[in-house]
Amino acid sequence: MGKAYSVSDCFKENGIGILARACKEAGFSVTVEDPARIDFYIAFTKNDLIPRLSDLSRRIFDVRNREDTPSLRKEWNLLQDNLAHVIKGKMEKYLDDLARKIGKNQVKVLGIKTWLGDRFTYSERLAQRVKEISPNTLIIAGGPQVNQFKTHALEKSPFDFCIDVEGEITLVQILNIVKETYSQGGTKPDVIKKNHCPCRSR
């Protein structure tokens, strides 16, 4: 989530596809929300600041015709700060809209692929907003942040569980536990209390 750090951030996400296929083959309904798309990033960065920033970048960073004056550099920094503020506002709205959609559809399980840095912050923000709007939704974290920090990724976080490394087997097992528990009249706390749950909880 958040800004693209490289072109590969906009490639089709194989890991999410593998998880979605495993869950579908196990008979579960799956909806994938993947913002790592070129059109998503274009929509987020498209605003009136871009033309001027493009002009300044040529004037400041072009080694052949450089005009890197203090005034240009000051304007560049100011516009970059404004652009970051605009993008942050759009991201906050996107996360809020997504959380409301999850609540409206009464989603039982939400899986979030977590990345490092700012993107992990946005993942936590989405999870927290979902907890506020849809407290019965079980929130599972996976991805690079979890793989690197293991159970530390759960510390002071809004996630209920984390799945380390490959998750297509573990995720399906958790979904089966959720299905079984709810069919018996259980709730989210009952799922978390299951001692045989193949994951680590807080």
Does residue 195 have a pLDDT over 60? Answer: no
Contact residues for 148 (Cβ-Cβ < 8 A; gap 6+) = 116
Q: Is residue 126 one of the residues assigned to a domain?
A: yes
Q: How many domains does the chain have?
A: 1
| Cα(79)–Cα(174) distance, integer angstroms | 46
Does residue 202 have a pLDDT over 70? Answer: no
Q: How many whole angstroms from its chain centre is CA 181? A: 27
Does residue 111 have a pLDDT over 50? Answer: yes
Higher pLDDT, 30 or 154: 30
Q: What percent of the chain has pLDDT over 90?
A: 40
Higher pLDDT, 196 or 153: 153
Q: What is the pLDDT of residue 198?
A: 46
Q: Give the model confidence (pLDDT) of 8-56 as tens digits.
A: 455 555 788 889 999 999 999 999 998 777 777 777 776 788 788 888 8
Q: Is residue 70 one of the residues assigned to a domain?
A: no
Distances (CA, A) of 56 to 2, 48, 67, 78, 136: 24, 14, 9, 12, 49
Domain that holds residue 134: 10-35+106-195
Over range 92-114, report the average pLDDT: 94
Q: What is the pLDDT of residue 200?
A: 45
Q: Is residue 182 one of the residues assigned to a domain?
A: yes
Furthest CA-CA distance within the chain = 72
Q: Is residue 41 one of the residues assigned to a domain?
A: no
Over range 98-127, report the average pLDDT: 90
Q: What is the pLDDT of residue 162?
A: 87
Q: Give the model confidence (pLDDT) of 70-101 as tens digits.
A: 899 899 899 888 888 888 888 899 999 999 99
Q: Is residue 120 one of the residues assigned to a domain?
A: yes
Say which CATH number the domain at 176 has.
3.40.50.280
Q: Is residue 21 one of the residues assigned to a domain?
A: yes
Query: Three-state SS for 202?
Result: coil
Q: Is residue 50 one of the residues assigned to a domain?
A: no
Q: What is the pLDDT of residue 99?
A: 97
Q: What is the pLDDT of residue 114?
A: 85
Q: Is residue 63 one of the residues assigned to a domain?
A: no
Q: What is the pLDDT of residue 87?
A: 83
Q: What is the pLDDT of residue 201?
A: 43
Does residue 7 have a pLDDT over 70? Answer: no
Over range 53-74, report the average pLDDT: 84
